[in-house]
């Protein structure tokens, strides 16, 4: 059980490190956010299995993270259509 907790913490920290260091392309930032969401989902599954609860809340969390991913991809497509690339610094209304 301890190995799963260590793996979940390592996944979260590596996702946060990639998100903070690779801020040039929007696609890389969205992929690192999805990786963080997967590690949080894994952490919720560990927590719920440790306490012997139902996994219904994890399905709600997974549904919301899929909706968040679809929204991020739609922003990416809109940005590429309007600006021609996915560089964050060319999108002047964000920064």
CATH number for position 10: 1.10.287.3510
Asked whether 87 and 94 are in contact (CB, 8 A), the reply is no
Say how many domains are in the chain.
Answer: 1
User: Is 95 inside a domain boundary?
Assistant: no
Q: Do the domain assignments include residue 40?
A: yes
Confidence of residue 92 (pLDDT cuts 50, 70, 90): low
Share the mean pLDDT of the chain. Answer: 87
Report yes or no on 56 lying in a domain: yes
Burial (CB count within 10 angstroms: exposed 0-12, middle 13-18, buried 19+), residue 39: buried
Q: Alpha-carbon distance 32 to 12, whole Å? A: 10
pLDDT in tens, 44-80: 999 888 888 888 888 898 899 999 999 999 988 988 8
- pTM for the structure as a whole: 0.83
CA distance 12 to 25: 20
Q: What residues make up the domain containing 61?
A: 1-90
């Amino acid at each position: 059980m301890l190995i799963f907790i260590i793996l979940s913490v390592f996944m979260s920290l590596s996702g946060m490190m990639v998100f903070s260091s690779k801020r040039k392309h929007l696609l890389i930032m969205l992929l690192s956010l999805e990786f963080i969401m997967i590690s949080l989902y894994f952490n919720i599954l560990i927590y719920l299995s440790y306490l012997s609860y139902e996994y219904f809340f994890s399905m709600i969390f997974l549904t919301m993270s899929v909706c968040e991913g679809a929204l991020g991809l739609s922003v990416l497509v809109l940005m590429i259509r309007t600006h021609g690339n996915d560089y964050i610094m060319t999108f002047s209304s964000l920064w």
